């Protein structure tokens, strides 16, 4: 059974008295970081922390968030824009924000959590460009694993095309980040990345197409392990996506549908993306990942999130 606790700026999901995650829907970060809702902290069922918030190297990385660096002329990721003419990043007045409007559903059903939210994306100047309906779900599978589901349905509410891309679509090789982004704890640096036919490092997986990707890391202090498995929803644009993955110099996973090709987003058009994330107390191997992927698909097909 998952319990929901409401605060003015955040929601907390708990199971057995333990915090599964905190969803901050009214962030207080500066405009430079493209303020957006995020999930942090996230814990496994053993109480171990599996996310990082505002690391000094990239302060706009926050737990798990829906973050897009290239939406037309706008940046809903944070920090600077990749500018091919200079071969690097420049800080420009492009950082937008994703603003919570209201929750249209808050509750639990059959032991699972279901949250539906309406958001408006605004440019730095305050103009609305995207209207989003977001759904979060959570379900405990067994004593070691729980699943987060995430759905974003975005409508271009502006009067101009907003093609969605990445630094790679702008010319930076193998840097196609953007989408549902997870930043892992510092101690997960150097952890193992797993995908179909792969058990290695982030360099082995970054840019590959796959329907899922996992990450297994160890915690300072206890020496115990936790794992994350992110699963692309069937029917997502660019399915299966390329993945932006790092194990050095930090831990990160991101199914990136805009990695190397822009996805068109015309005025009035709607794009919908759906994902499942298994949070596992214990080390992962390929066999464990395959089992979790199937179970996540069962949750997605069952309608959670």
Residue 303 has pLDDT above 80, yes or no: no
pTM reported for the whole predicted model: 0.97
Instruction: Give all domains of the chain, ordered by start, each with its CATH number.
Output: 2-301 (2.70.98)
CB of 67 closer than 8 Å to CB of 47 = no
Report residue 221's pLDDT band, with 50, 70 and 90 as the boundaries.
Answer: very high
Give residue-wise pLDDT tens across range 159-200: 999 999 999 999 999 999 999 999 999 999 999 999 998 999
Give dist(CA 296, CA 53) in Å, integer: 25
- Mean of pLDDT values over 6-13: 97
Tokens 């990749």 appear where? 82
pLDDT the model gives residue 305: 54
- At 94-122, the pLDDT tens digits run 999 999 999 999 998 778 999 999 999 99
């Amino acid at each position: 059974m998952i319990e929901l606790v409401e605060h003015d700026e955040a929601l907390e999901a708990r199971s057995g008295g333990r915090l599964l995650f905190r969803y901050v829907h009214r962030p207080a970060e500066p405009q430079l970081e493209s303020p957006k809702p995020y999930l942090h902290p996230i814990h496994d069922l053993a109480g171990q922390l599996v996310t990082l918030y505002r690391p000094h190297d990239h302060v706009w990385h926050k737990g798990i968030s829906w973050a897009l660096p290239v939406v037309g002329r706008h940046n809903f990721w944070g920090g600077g824009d990749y500018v091919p003419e200079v071969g690097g990043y420049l800080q420009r007045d492009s950082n937008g924000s994703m603003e919570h409007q209201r929750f249209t559903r808050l509750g639990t059903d059959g032991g699972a959590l279901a949250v539906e939210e309406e958001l408006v994306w605004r440019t730095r100047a305050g103009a609305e460009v995207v209207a989003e309906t977001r759904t979060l779900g959570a379900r405990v599978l067994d004593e070691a694993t729980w699943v987060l589901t995430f759905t974003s349905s975005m409508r271009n509410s502006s009067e101009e095309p907003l093609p969605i891309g990445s630094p790679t679509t702008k010319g930076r090789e193998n840097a196609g980040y953007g989408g549902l982004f997870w930043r892992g704890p510092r101690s997960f640096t150097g952890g193992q990345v797993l995908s179909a036919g792969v058990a290695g490092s982030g360099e082995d997986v970054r840019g590959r197409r796959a329907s899922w990707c996992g990450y297994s890391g160890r915690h300072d202090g206890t020496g115990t392990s936790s794992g994350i498995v992110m699963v692309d929803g069937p029917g997502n644009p660019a399915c299966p996506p390329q993945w932006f993955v790092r194990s050095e110099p930090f831990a990160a996973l991101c199914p990136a549908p805009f990695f190397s090709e822009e996805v068109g987003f015309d005025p009035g058009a709607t794009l919908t993306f759906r994902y499942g994330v298994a949070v596992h107390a214990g080390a992962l191997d390929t066999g464990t990942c395959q089992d979790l992927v199937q179970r996540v698909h069962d949750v997605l097909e069952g309608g959670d999130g």
